[in-house]
Structure 1
């Protein structure tokens, strides 16, 4: 057991020699007009502050901007498009064979608010500094939004007539829950009996292997999302003047409850076989013996691995339901004892755990009837999407992401399924597709991740070029891929000829 512990710790520190690390972009060259379109879109303050409260003027402007700057998409006889609930955008690019199940590419129009004072550059000026575009939304997710639009515009301009129908959906309030954007889009698609082969949404990025000290690049593709429960804790006790305090105060009791929750996290779920175990199993295919043996047996080795992984922030979040204290309210004056104290707990729920189990854990840990619990919001974990095809199971979405990444990065990265921690609009689509994938095709290193939703969000011009390239190849690959499971006589054309006869070189 001591040797095995040493082996695991060593594994967390080694640098894998089995996977090349050089990033190679494809040959597509970004032109100045595409950069300026992107910058102009970033300058629009499409902020969403809270559910139902967003910058309506900016959202109207970005809709008009997109319509005016992508004329081929909007005027093609193949395209039907509409505004949904005033601000969200939905496109249908009709395929040549209506029997084939369509797929959907999605991103969102809105961004989170900014604190302009802590930015090095104004967050809505989209200034270019040392080849980096500084702007709110540069990563999350206007880069994907405009990358999809540029790719689709280019294909249609080149005369592409896709075999299967392609939907594009851009919600306007993802950052505030998606109730007025994605939810309304889904209602419309359900009303029209649309069933999607797969959905490609925002999610994780390419990064340097975040859980091991490797030089390898890794692309983690979200095949599920953790659930979320926000729970209000409240305590009401007699107040009064600070000069004559009671033995216990509402603030003290609630602080003690919070301390208990932070000191007693929910147990690891490694032994339950969720998406985290799937990720380790897939990772083993890239890692040589003896470490692959550990990864292939994570469930059985969980008693040992739990302690090792708990010390890593990312691994800890992968393997359990997490507990974060996000808000605390109490007191009105510095010499008055508060009668009430309230706090908000944010749980990100592991896919193998239920809300009832989480609440029971909280109740048992706090063990104080004076602390009342109230559920403010709950979103259950999403089902796990298909990630590995077999003779009877088709996983076109994941395979197309894999193959497109191999094309763009020349195979020089690990590609792993993962359970996404943040919530995305894609969770609203679970009733119209069994296969949802969450990924942004750009590189964000772990030490840079705080810029997303934080100050100095930025993207390099080269990285934006890669995003366009990715979606350009993805759309072409999807049109010549024959493992959707709904084809009769469709065969893959490895030269990548489009319906119009133009040629692309895609090595599927």
Structure 2
């Protein structure tokens, strides 16, 4: 018979759960396939059933599986909270890595593998904490909906977006949502750590550009050349410098970061604050302005044949409140000879850094790290929060990790040799448990 003292804790289980999730190859190539998502959803379902929680698996497309469950809270009359994580990962080539990207090995104090930080670490934290609380019979203060999702790495069409469109009833009563890319630490002077809580995300505009011309022989004078028109437009987009636009979230982060580093915040030159924060400046720097990055070019089939058309793809990201300015600039740079269509579009989201849920995150962090300095920040990329915001939820990124100062955490996302510290996982499980007590 298992006594209360023998019941495994979230801290006991979280590392193993993370390893086992990494070993399920859920690579998302960006098409209709998701070879491991069903297996991962079945794994999560089995782990929840072991502690008495029923869940449902939904397939938006064969193999594209997401799982949803609801935990009854002490006060079902309160608004519900959504905890969400995605099961898919970006692909990885084994030959590029120091260790097997799907091995889930522990080495140098870290769990290694694709998804270790994006985001099977948080999936494991949620599973571990929920399993502990259900074993111990501890209800959260309000209903908590769990969602383990497909297809986030390709925009969520077959995961969060599909569920929100086809099964909104699953999220009935949810007014707030907590997901990835937040709650991680950045060491600052005085043996303190800023913990970045995501309250905003840039919008996404992946665009296909098309230029049309007249086909002809490559040896002749040919002013109506689609490749020339397209190349000129791509060059204009790629070299354009958008002006700095300080949103409320970015300004709040920079002001608090400057206080932590003991430097003066200059709103006329806010980028100077980035000099203090090391590699994270790549991510934060991209939230000071809209961005455009050409990523693909395609034209022609033979060197001496001028093609009739040429295409390119561009990754555009726009700040909350600055979408209209972004597209007006894009169209001006493209000119009349190049048209654009969306490969993928999603809106920018932002919520205020205030309220009971924010207070619960801050208190949970400080309970495990008295040197914690929680701060809001804007994510330069996008997450499934965009889909849930369409249901009116306030969305946050809060996957708590206390990290060693030398770890280039932002470089782990989609990077080679992705890994997460073992101690960080255990810390995150403890913080998440405290958070659910207060949420």
Give the TM-score range, shorter chain: 0.7 to 0.9
Answer whether contact 2:113 2:418 (CA < 8 A) is retained: yes
- Counterpart of 1:482? none
1:90: Cα distance to partner? Answer: 0.8
1:381 and 2:348 correspond:
yes
**1:42 aligned to which of 22, 33, 39:** 22
Answer whether contact 2:206 2:314 (CA < 8 A) is retained: yes
- Counterpart of 1:457? 418
- Counterpart of 1:277? 251
Give, in whole Å, the separation in 2 of the partners of 1:225 and 1:122. 32
SS in 1 for 2:55: strand
Answer whether contact 1:250 1:338 (CA < 8 A) is retained: yes
- Counterpart of 1:224? 200
| Residue ranges of structure 1 left out of the alignment (5+ in a row) | 1-27, 389-394, 479-508
SS in 1 for 2:322: coil
Give, in whole Å, the separation in 1 of the partners of 2:171 and 2:39. 31
Answer whether contact 2:11 2:426 (CA < 8 A) is retained: yes
Answer whether contact 2:17 2:128 (CA < 8 A) is retained: no
Answer whether contact 1:72 1:157 (CA < 8 A) is retained: no
SS in 1 for 2:204: strand
| Residue ranges of structure 2 left out of the alignment (5+ in a row) | 1-8
1:435 and 2:394 correspond:
yes
Answer whether contact 1:233 1:374 (CA < 8 A) is retained: yes
Deviations 1:365-404 (A, max 9, x none): 34x422222333321212x22312xxxxxx1221111111
Taking structure 1 as reference, are residues 236 and 192 closer, same or farther at Cα in structure 2, changes over 3 Å only? closer
Deviations 1:9-28 (A, max 9, x none): xxxxxxxxxxxxxxxxxxx8
1:34: Cα distance to partner? Answer: 4.8
1:347: Cα distance to partner? Answer: 1.3
1:147: Cα distance to partner? Answer: 0.8
1:71: Cα distance to partner? Answer: 4.0
**2:430 aligned to which of 469, 474, 497:** 469
Give, in whole Å, the separation in 2 of the partners of 1:37 and 1:409. 24
1:247: Cα distance to partner? Answer: 5.0
1:416: Cα distance to partner? Answer: 1.4
Give, in whole Å, the separation in 2 of the partners of 1:438 and 1:92. 20
Give, in whole Å, the separation in 1 of the partners of 2:34 and 2:338. 35
Taking structure 1 as reference, are residues 161 and 451 closer, same or farther at Cα in structure 2, changes over 3 Å only? closer
Answer whether contact 2:151 2:158 (CA < 8 A) is retained: yes
Give, in whole Å, the separation in 2 of the partners of 1:159 and 1:413. 30
Answer whether contact 2:45 2:55 (CA < 8 A) is retained: no
**Range moving further from structure 2, 221-230 or 277-286:** 277-286
1:322: Cα distance to partner? Answer: 0.8
**1:54 aligned to which of 34, 46, 51:** 34
Answer whether contact 1:397 1:437 (CA < 8 A) is retained: no
Give, in whole Å, the separation in 1 of the partners of 2:42 and 2:49. 11
Give, in whole Å, the separation in 2 of the partners of 1:413 and 1:115. 37
Answer whether contact 1:208 1:214 (CA < 8 A) is retained: no
Q: Larger Cα Rg: Structure 1 or Structure 2?
A: 1
1:425: Cα distance to partner? Answer: 0.8
1:205: Cα distance to partner? Answer: 5.1
Normalised to the residue count of structure 2, the TM-score between the two structures is 0.86
Answer whether contact 2:207 2:343 (CA < 8 A) is retained: yes
Taking structure 1 as reference, are residues 328 and 439 closer, same or farther at Cα in structure 2, changes over 3 Å only? farther
- Counterpart of 1:358? 326
Give, in whole Å, the separation in 2 of the partners of 1:111 and 1:437. 20
Give, in whole Å, the separation in 1 of the partners of 2:191 and 2:295. 34
Q: Number of matched residues?
A: 421
Deviations 1:269-293 (A, max 9, x none): 23xx4322233344466465x72xx
- Counterpart of 1:338? 307
1:215: Cα distance to partner? Answer: 7.8
1:264 and 2:231 correspond:
no
Deviations 1:227-246 (A, max 9, x none): 11122222222344444453
Give, in whole Å, the separation in 1 of the partners of 2:170 and 2:21. 31
Normalised to the residue count of structure 1, the TM-score between the two structures is 0.75
- Counterpart of 1:4? none
SS in 2 for 1:406: helix
- Counterpart of 1:425? 384
Answer whether contact 2:202 2:319 (CA < 8 A) is retained: yes
- Counterpart of 2:58? 84
SS in 2 for 1:344: strand
SS in 2 for 1:54: coil
Taking structure 1 as reference, are residues 459 and 284 closer, same or farther at Cα in structure 2, changes over 3 Å only? closer
Give, in whole Å, the separation in 2 of the partners of 1:261 and 1:374. 15
SS in 1 for 2:254: helix
